[in-house]
Structure 1
């Protein structure tokens, strides 16, 4: 897997104009494929959807600024620990993220783009997972 910032940024640029519906699709997909995760979230997801899209945008923006990107992910992992998230949830979240990006990226979604996003999500899950685990054990 190769983390290719150009492919990630190009595909996210194709996804971004869809705005809030991207996050709606993500959560719908996530809860359809792992209904047990629904209980971790508030009944109304408007604010959560905004935060998800903002976090994705920040990650993509800072993808080549490793210190900033990893700091964002560590902070997210720590905050997710307080909401009952577990490392075991990350594969379902990753699958829903990739499905959502593929749905909205259109022609920008290629096997190479999927590989690039898979590499990004590996960093996301490793970094957030480590911070989440550390926060839960503190």
Structure 2
């Protein structure tokens, strides 16, 4: 399915009032369902939650500005490579993102909205994954 920007923006607008609850839920879901990724994150997640929220807002705000969006995603991919993130982590993150949005979006969450978000996340994963590959593996700390 293709991305329907109206559905993505409408569902995100329903999620936005929940603010920091959204990112806290996301990380709980991620670590409960995919505990193997916990080691990639700091013990305290306040700053990380703020960065995730900002990235989601930027993603939705620039959904129809391809060049800007690709630039944001490439930058995120390069930075995540430095944190030790791998393309294999994307399915876990995507599962938790969709579960979180579904939880908070209320009546705006429809099968079509979910399909649009899945398509958006596919672009995110592909673009960030390419940037991660170009950046190379994180330096080892040993």
Q: TM-score, normalised by structure 1?
A: 0.98
The residue that corresponds to 2:53 in the other structure is 53
How far did 1:2 drift?
A: 1.5
Is 1:63 matched with 2:69? no
Alignment of structure 1 residues 25-36 onto 2, 5 Å: 25-36=25-36
* Partner Cα distance (1:137, 1:43) in 2: 23
Q: Secondary structure at the match of 1:119?
A: helix
**Structure 1 segment 1-138 matched on structure 2, within 5 A:** 1-136=1-136
Q: Is the 8 A contact 2:4 2:116 kept in 1?
A: yes
Once the 2 structures are TM-superposed, how far is the Cα of residue 101 of structure 1 from its aligned partner?
Answer: 0.2
- Structure 2 distance, partners of 1:57, 1:120, is 13
Runs of 4 or more consecutive aligned structure 1 residues displaced over 6 Å after TM superposition = none
Distance in structure 2 (CA, Å) of the matches to 1:29 and 1:133: 27
Runs of 5+ consecutive residues of structure 2 not aligned to the other structure? none
Deviation at 1:136, TM superposition (A): 1.1
Tell me the CA shift for residue 137 of structure 1: 5.7
SS in 1 for 2:136: helix
Distance in 1 separating the partners of 2:15 and 2:134: 33
Per the alignment, do residues 30 and 89 of structure 1 end up closer, same or farther by CA in structure 2, a change over 3 Å counting? same
The whole-number CA distance in structure 2 between the counterparts of 1:69 and 1:85 is 20
Contact 2:82 2:137 in 1 (8 A): no
Equivalenced residue count is 138
CA distance in 2: counterparts of 1:137 and 1:13, whole angstroms: 36
